[in-house]
Structure 1
Amino acid sequence: MNLSKSWLVSSWDWLWKRELPVLLAIFAIFASLFIFVLLTQLALQDSPHEFDRYLLLSMRNPADLSDPLGPRWVEEVGRDITALGGNAVLILLSLAVLGYLLMDKKPILALVVLVATLGSLTLSSTLKETIDRDRPDLVPHHTVIYTASFPSGHSMLSASTYLTMGALLATNQRRKRIKIFILLFCTFITLLVGISRIYLGVHWPTDVLAGWTAGAGWALACWLLARWLQRKQPGIE
């Protein structure tokens, strides 16, 4: 009994010291899944949550709901930022990164980028069609829309793509401050894209939160996949 207990304790100590990032990533994935389920329940309600209404209207001129807060150039910047989470931009970016990794003889990382992009595209489309939430009707839309609202595809795709690429890039860096900078910058872009969707009036805030949550969870899963594949074939980066 003591021997068995000692083995469990030593195994846990080894796992905690050597695989703490993996344990945290697994915990974060389950946490993101739990949060996504809660947000889905809100999205399935007959009327939008008061939180959604308040935050969406807080970004509008009370005297004219068709006018987002700020001067015209801010609205134009919002459109530019939201394009960073569009399918065309992210697919082109993924193809560029994919080509570079293949030419640099890093097939495992290339595979992970492919899984991150195609997987998030498929998952986003499936969730939109399944939940089929209506777009916000409180304010006019300031960009073209043609899909359901929940989750925000731009938020989800930007989170999964930018965070996956950032995690893979940061993993190959030795200096801690560079790792932190890469991850913070990719997170910053992801947050800006999501906020721009609310600012332009095309998504409820809970759509964006769900997109961030699902995208971050998928990015963590892809990072775990890359870590596992690299350990299976240590001679290949």
Structure 2
Amino acid sequence: MSEKTKLEKYLFEPKNSHAKESLINNKLIFDLKLAAAQREYFLNIYTPEVDKDGFDIIFDDQDSLTKVQLKTVMAKTSTNSWSIHKTLLRPAPYICEQLGFESSPSGTGYQGGVILIEIEETEESGFQVKYYYTDIIILCGLRDKIIKVIDAPSDKALEAFINNINEGMSHEKITIYKNMFLEAKCPSSLLALMGMHNTVNTGIFRYHIQKLVEPCSEEEFASPRDKFVEFVNEELKSVSSSIIP
């Protein structure tokens, strides 16, 4: 294992947790606000007063709200899993049955997401970041093999995840792995993956994933299912480097 750099030691010392959050979160906020400005709107950002509901930040593009948990990791670390509140990832009541979840307190939640911020130290700028994102739409797309990724989670891991998130209390946590995220090509791509207004994509792939996941009927489609799957992945290629070329 490689020796930790001074920056890594500083950022990940427990006593410096607030400094790390301030530095990295402000970088994320700047990047997303700038991406929103390029789309000619102001991205509102809110933070909860207490840290007990499983999310760190709320993004508001003036048409939709998304509650998000932030996770930070160094690029060279071996860490590849994180614990997330089940209620954050569980789907909203209006869409739960369409995604194969029960319309009950244990089947519904905030329908939020998780942003993984990967830090790499550089000589030029001090550090650079990569952003990764996942939510229940992406997870169900991976589960049903709609989203074709380079490093796909195993069927066993996805089945265990879906079964686990469907059980237990909302405040319980669930483990999520790095290969369950999609890497965003740029900050505007991150907005697209979140389903927010952006400059690179219409975001319609999220709607099609909702229609394609199990349970669904091919009779509902205007074209063959394979064509819709192909369309979803072509759309995702424009915003994520995780998709098979």
**TMscore range, shorter length:** under 0.3
Structure with more of its chain in strand, by fraction = 2
Q: Which has the higher contact order (CA 8 A, sep 6+)?
A: 1
Q: Could you state the TM-score of these two structures normalised by the residue count of structure 2?
A: 0.26
Greater helix percent: which structure?
1
Which of these two proteins has the greater Rg computed from alpha carbons? 1
**TM-score for the superposition, normalised by structure 1:** 0.26
